[in-house]
Amino acid sequence: MKPDIHTSACCSTDSGLVRSHNEDTCLVNNEAGFFLVADGMGGAAAGEVASALFQKTALELFTPHQKRSPNVDKGLVLKCFQSANARILSYAAEMPSHSGMGCTAELITFHKKHFIIGHVGDSRTYRLSNGKLTQLTKDHTLVQVQEDQGLISREQAKTHSMRNLILRVVGSKDGVEADLIHGTAVAGDIFLLCTDGLSGMVGDAQIQEILMLDGPLTLKATMLIDQANCAGGKDNITVTLIEVTS
């Protein structure tokens, strides 16, 4: 069953200017009403395998014909992260050279007027609503914990030497705990799912400025990636944009 909320969406990914290959992935599925980004890690091509396994798991769980409700969607979002976690571990066990691979991931789904986000790692989900950009997720990183405890400032966190130390990933031997964020979506809202290749290079003010421009989502996605590359393009850059149209 198609979700009652109507959306338009696009996604785009770029290897950036430094990395030799792209370990990110993204997906939009308006028919089934789910959208994602995943940022692979692990090297030796293992990172891109991990992110692809997350995407494959989501495709298998979310179908356009299933009976939907907010509680069903919450369960499916959690199941996606847990199943992908087990799948990545199983693959790594069969391929020892890929041991340690994993991914961060954002997944959002819609039902009626509601959205549900699953979040693990330092990829992010933002919402532009009524001209205001809000970060809906909180990074699962050491510097975020230190910032929350008042040990460092937000500005110090941006340049901290351990800012890339991630505390939660999909592919953890101890299991994965996904944050669930839910709320009400209204027509005109734009949701941005992105990997840290964007958020680490482009500030919130610049992101908001681009999202507020007139023009198609595809143009805005291109502009966001171009801005990250202009700032140095130090990582793979991936964005998924979803606009609530009615």
Q: Residues 183-196: pLDDT tens digits?
A: 999 999 999 999 99
Separation CA 14–CA 200 (nearest Å): 15
Q: For residue 39, tell me if it sits in a domain.
A: yes
pTM: 0.93
Q: For residue 83, tell me if it sits in a domain.
A: yes
- pLDDT tens for 122-139 read 999 999 999 999 999 999
Q: Give the rounded percent of residues in the chain with a pLDDT score beyond 90.
A: 73
Cα 3 to Cα 37, 42, 61, 73, 110, distances in angstroms: 20, 35, 15, 11, 6
Amino acid type, 166: I
- Averaged pLDDT for residues 29-47: 87
Give the count of domains, the chain.
1
- Looking up residue 66, the CATH number of its domain turns out to be 3.60.40.10
Amino acid type, 144: Q
| Residue numbers of the domain that contains 74 | 7-139+168-244
Residue 220: is its pLDDT beyond 60?
Answer: yes
**Dihedral of the alpha carbons of 144, 192, 128, 72, in degrees to the nearest 10:** -90
Residue 50: is its pLDDT beyond 80?
Answer: yes
pLDDT category of residue 217 using cuts at 50, 70 and 90:
very high
Residue 1: is its pLDDT beyond 50?
Answer: no
Q: For residue 19, tell me if it sits in a domain.
A: yes
Q: For residue 2, tell me if it sits in a domain.
A: no
